[in-house]
Structure 1
């Protein structure tokens, strides 16, 4: 398992974003490194956890629980074949393009060590938005991306560190539950009935998602179902 590239973006003014600033940093490009990665601070205040990476809309992006976004090169390759176009590393606005990592199958709370020092923890999947669709300039992209379900993973920083392309990725902790990124994504998009299952991930779950799951349980009175390996 390997880190193929570290990608950062500078804010640009664009017509397709709903950001109150009118700008977005989704157009990310690989940088040689080393690149410092650290917890950026709470949502709404902290931006990206990756040094040099800028965010246009702090309401919905960045912050400690979405400090880093990872996407698998294997999934980018699959989209290349589907869309019939080249998708270089960083095309989906990901900070980390990985190889050999089952990003969508990662467990919420799973921890990755990248390089010598950096430790990240998986928190949630990525929900597609208008800015993502505008960036790719693909008609109906939000629906297509959601239908496919290969959403990539947001991660929080447990231990800061410096990384660069070519660094090894090691899974250093896998929780006992079975709540994957793909399951979390399905629950918050198309299959709300799965929300109770997410609570098995405990404190590792993104706080916003945990709140939604608890509200669903309270409203529906559903029993929480847990998954195991």
Structure 2
């Protein structure tokens, strides 16, 4: 398992975002050298966990639970076949493009060591938005991505440091529950009846999902 590229985005104006300034950093390109990774701070205050990467809409993106976004090259390759077009590393706005790692199948709370020191923890799947759809230029993309369910994973920074393309990735902790990023994604999008089962992952869930799962379970218990 290895890191194929570390992808960074710069703010640019687009017509397809509802961010107040009309800017997005979703168009990410592979970095040439090492990139510093650190926890950015809480949602609404912190942005990206990668130095030099723009998160323009901190209402919905960035912060400690969404510090880094990873997507598997294998899933990009599958989308290339379906869409009939080339998708470079970073095409889905991912910070990390991986090889040999089932990113969507990673467990909430699973930890990866990248290179010699950086440790990241899986927090949730990625919810598609209109900016993602506008960026790809594919009609009906939000629904299509949702049905596919290969969501990738948002990650927290547990141990900061520098990462580079080519770094090895090692799974250093794998929880015993069965709550994957893909399962969390389905529960908060199309299969809300799965929400109570997410509680097996406990505090490793991102704060929003944990609140939704607790509320749904409480409502069902009444």
1: distance between equivalents of 2:131 and 2:18? 7
SS at match of 1:108: coil
Alignment of 1:100-111 (within 5 A): 100-111=100-111
2: distance between equivalents of 1:192 and 1:54? 32
1: distance between equivalents of 2:220 and 2:48? 36
Q: Specify the alignment match of 2:41 in structure 1.
A: 41
Q: Specify the alignment match of 1:218 in structure 2.
A: 218
- C-alpha displacement of 1:21: 2.1
What stretches of structure 1 of length at least 5 have no aligned partner? 223-229
Q: Specify the alignment match of 1:199 in structure 2.
A: 199
- C-alpha displacement of 1:221: 1.4
SS at match of 1:109: coil
2: distance between equivalents of 1:205 and 1:175? 12
* Aligned residue pairs, count: 222
Asked if 1:97 corresponds to 2:97, the answer is yes
SS at match of 1:200: helix
Q: Specify the alignment match of 1:27 in structure 2.
A: 27
SS at match of 1:71: strand
- C-alpha displacement of 1:121: 0.2
2: distance between equivalents of 1:187 and 1:8? 29
What stretches of structure 2 of length at least 5 have no aligned partner? none
2: distance between equivalents of 1:62 and 1:17? 16
2: distance between equivalents of 1:43 and 1:133? 23
Q: Specify the alignment match of 1:10 in structure 2.
A: 10
TM-score, length of structure 1 as denominator length:
0.96
Compute the RMSD of aligned alpha carbons. 0.7
1: distance between equivalents of 2:217 and 2:21? 36
1: distance between equivalents of 2:50 and 2:84? 30
SS at match of 2:158: strand
Q: Specify the alignment match of 1:176 in structure 2.
A: 176
- C-alpha displacement of 1:33: 1.8
Q: Specify the alignment match of 1:150 in structure 2.
A: 150
SS at match of 1:187: helix
2: distance between equivalents of 1:215 and 1:194? 13
2: distance between equivalents of 1:21 and 1:57? 9
SS at match of 1:46: coil
TM-score, length of structure 2 as denominator length:
0.99
